[in-house]
């Protein structure tokens, strides 16, 4: 059975060590993270086209950017995704049997509203101006509220309503919650020739001889990452490379890989990983059921 260990995690990034697995399985998780992990994203935008007279001033729904560009920017804003609170529209208990144009309820749709007026100096319209018509947890997180949408000046105004629905990255990139998804074999450092390894220690870089165990191996993930950087100072193209001659090397650990990725802020990296694994296991269960039915 595959074993997973979180090596590092913050609000957006994660490094996960996967043991007792192979490259094909880890790649399937990578692909699922990108293409199949459910995520909320703004899908439709309705702009209000009108002119208002206020204190003798005329305000018109207009701006420097076309509506299509505004809609595209809105689609890429990270919408908080609550997998337990919302359904796909075609799986919604209330809307699934309706025609697609009539779907949309509190169980499958998030509704946002925005109205901003410009000024002589200019007013930025940002993600923080999106008002969620629902629980506070549906508002854009504080960290992402400064994301710019457009800038308005005197007499310009923007007003629209937008709906966010659940989707998958295979249908549109706006529904892909991750970026920079990559994996590499886990590596350890090994001292091959102690006398020549001293060349590296004498440079006074991050890794020292004392970091290695009595068998001449370095297994700590973060120290190995530092060792990779240090070896650049004695690698090919350096003056020390001829004498050093791979006195310290990096070796792959069989059946172990480090998966790394970032999220767009719509969900935590851990949640994205858990949902990807759930989607993947569900897919294989479906294949197993189909085979049983056929055989």
Q: Which of 157, 174, 191 is the last residue of a domain?
A: 174
Tell me: do 149 and 47 sit in the same domain: yes
Domain for residue 268, yes or no?
no
- Is residue 78 within 8 Å of residue 264, measured between CB atoms? yes
**pLDDT at residue 295 in the model:** 46
**What stretches of the chain adopt beta strand conformation (E)?**
3-9, 13-19, 39-47, 51-54, 57-61, 109-117, 123-126, 131-132, 148-152, 156-167, 178-191, 217-218, 248-263
Helices (H), the chain: 23-35, 67-75, 194-201, 221-230, 241-244, 269-294
Domain for residue 101, yes or no?
yes
Tell me: do 169 and 224 sit in the same domain: no
Burial class (CB in 10 A: 0-12, 13-18, 19+), 184: exposed
Domain for residue 219, yes or no?
yes
Q: Which of 140, 174, 208 is the last residue of a domain?
A: 174
Residue 269, C-beta contacts closer than 8 angstroms, at least 6 positions apart:
9, 10, 12, 13, 14, 261, 262, 263
Tell me: do 70 and 147 sit in the same domain: yes
Tell me: do 199 and 183 sit in the same domain: yes
Q: Is the pLDDT of residue 287 over 70?
A: no
In this predicted model, what pLDDT tens digit does every residue of 240-256 receive, in sequence order?
888 999 999 999 999 99
Domain for residue 287, yes or no?
no
pTM of the model: 0.86
Tell me: do 192 and 141 sit in the same domain: no
**pLDDT at residue 145 in the model:** 96
C-alpha Rg value of the chain to the nearest Å: 26
In this predicted model, what pLDDT tens digit does every residue of 168-200 receive, in sequence order?
999 999 999 999 999 999 999 999 999 999 999
**In which domain, by residue range, is 107 found?**
39-174
Q: Which of 174, 200, 235 is the last residue of a domain?
A: 174
* CATH code of residue 108: 2.170.120.12
Domain for residue 102, yes or no?
yes
Task: State how far the Cα of 156 lies from the Cα of 64, in Å rounded to an integer.
Answer: 9
Domain for residue 293, yes or no?
no
Tell me: do 64 and 156 sit in the same domain: yes
Q: How many domains does the chain have?
A: 2
Tell me: do 199 and 249 sit in the same domain: yes
Retrieve residue 110's tokens. 């998030």
In this predicted model, what pLDDT tens digit does every residue of 56-106 receive, in sequence order?
666 777 888 999 999 999 999 999 999 999 999 999 999 888 888 888 999
Tell me: do 212 and 153 sit in the same domain: no
Tell me: do 80 and 91 sit in the same domain: yes
Tell me: do 148 and 183 sit in the same domain: no
């Amino acid at each position: 059975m595959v074993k997973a260990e979180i090596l590092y995690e913050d609000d957006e990034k994660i490094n996960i060590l996967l043991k007792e697995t192979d490259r094909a399985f880890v790649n399937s998780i990578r692909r699922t993270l990108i293409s199949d992990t459910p995520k909320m994203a703004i899908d439709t935008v309705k702009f209000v086209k009108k002119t208002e007279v206020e204190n003798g001033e005329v305000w018109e729904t207009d701006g420097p950017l076309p509506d299509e560009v505004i809609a595209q920017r809105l689609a890429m804003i990270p919408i908080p995704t609550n997998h337990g609170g919302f359904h796909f529209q075609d799986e919604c208990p209330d809307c699934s049997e309706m025609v697609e144009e009539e779907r949309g309820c509190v169980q499958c749709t998030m509704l946002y509203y925005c109205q901003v007026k410009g000024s002589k100096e200019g007013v930025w319209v940002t993600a923080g101006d999106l008002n969620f018509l629902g629980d506070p947890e549906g508002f854009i997180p504080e960290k992402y509220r400064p994301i710019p949408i457009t800038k308005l000046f005197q007499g310009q105004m923007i007003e629209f309503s937008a709906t966010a629905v659940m989707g998958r990255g295979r249908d549109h990139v706006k529904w892909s919650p991750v970026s920079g998804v990559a994996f590499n074999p886990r590596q350890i450092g090994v001292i091959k020739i102690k006398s020549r390894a001293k060349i590296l220690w004498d440079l006074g870089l991050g890794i020292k001889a004392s970091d290695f165990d009595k068998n001449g191996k370095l297994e700590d993930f973060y120290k190995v990452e530092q060792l990779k950087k240090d070896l650049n100072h004695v690698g090919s193209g350096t003056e020390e490379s001829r004498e050093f001659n791979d006195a310290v090397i990096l070796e792959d650990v069989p059946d172990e890989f480090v998966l790394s990725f970032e999220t767009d802020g719509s969900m935590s990296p851990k949640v994205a990983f858990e949902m990807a694994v759930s989607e993947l296991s569900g897919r294989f269960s479906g294949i197993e059921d189909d085979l049983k039915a056929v055989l």
